[in-house]
Amino acid sequence: MGSGTKLLAQLGTGPHRVDDVPGQIDRGEVLRYLGYPQGVEPAARLVSVLDEWIEEAGRRATPRATYVVLPVTELSNRRLKVQTSDGFETTFNGAIGEFLGAAECLGVFIATAGPGVEQLATELMNDGDPLAGMIVNAVGAERAEAAESVVIDQLRENAREHDFAPTLPYSPGYCGMGLVEQRTLFSLFGRADVGVTLTESCLMQPLKSVSGLIGLGPAERVQAFGSPCDRCELYSCSMRR
């Protein structure tokens, strides 16, 4: 039995739920989402407002995630097929070779900050407090990202036992994968899985949610592939990893 098969046998196809996301909010990440360059602190007069709304948004957030792990049946530069839990095949299109070229299995995830943060941000905006609304939205982005990090950590832990490793996450709407691929991604989950739905225009509700694909492949191959950002010529990209 190959390592990929063993990993799949260990994990099962899922879906796996993540309900336990560390409660500590990463203030640096919140500042980054607010547009502060790394290492730059907000003006002293803003600190108490910032801390107040970070704390309140943290109370309203209910971060969680769900993911499945599926065997890759076909992989090319622009296309990846997986076998779904009901025995059919599903195809993802995009710059697959750059991001997921080392994948033998595919983790597919949806992570969210939950509906409460967005509701609070909307209330604040409607009440004429855009600064507080922006801070709360930034916390929402941080909480969704924290839930995604738990998924990656769980995949990494399981993969390590089989000398496998995860690739960088690759999300619909970024770096050569059309937003329309969200439909394929969401088709792998039931409606009630994690409380995130997709609008007609492929936006997630709640908005502070993140979805994506994570390849799982032999650790040496994943490492040799490195980051697609190293080969990307979009030098102005602020999401470079």
Positions that interact with ligand SF4 (CB under 6 A): 175, 228-229, 232, 234, 237, 239-240
How many Å from the N-terminal Cα to the C-terminal Cα in the chain? 34
CB 143 within 8 A of CB 61: yes
The number of residues in the chain equals: 241
3-class state of residue 193 by DSSP: coil
CB closer to ligand SF4 out of 102 and 188: 102
Measured on CA atoms in the order 215, 218, 220, 221, is the torsion positive or negative?
A: negative
CB closer to ligand SF4 out of 47 and 234: 234
CB 44 within 8 A of CB 177: no
CB closer to ligand SF4 out of 46 and 224: 224
CB closer to ligand SF4 out of 179 and 234: 234
CB closer to ligand SF4 out of 183 and 240: 240
CB 170 within 8 A of CB 177: yes
Tokens 């209910």 belong to residue: 62
CB 135 within 8 A of CB 30: yes
Nearest approach, Cβ of residue 100 and ligand SF4 (Å)? 13
Nearest approach, Cβ of residue 78 and ligand SF4 (Å)? 15
Q: How many degrees, rounded to 5, is the angle at CA 214 between CA 29 and CA 158?
A: 95
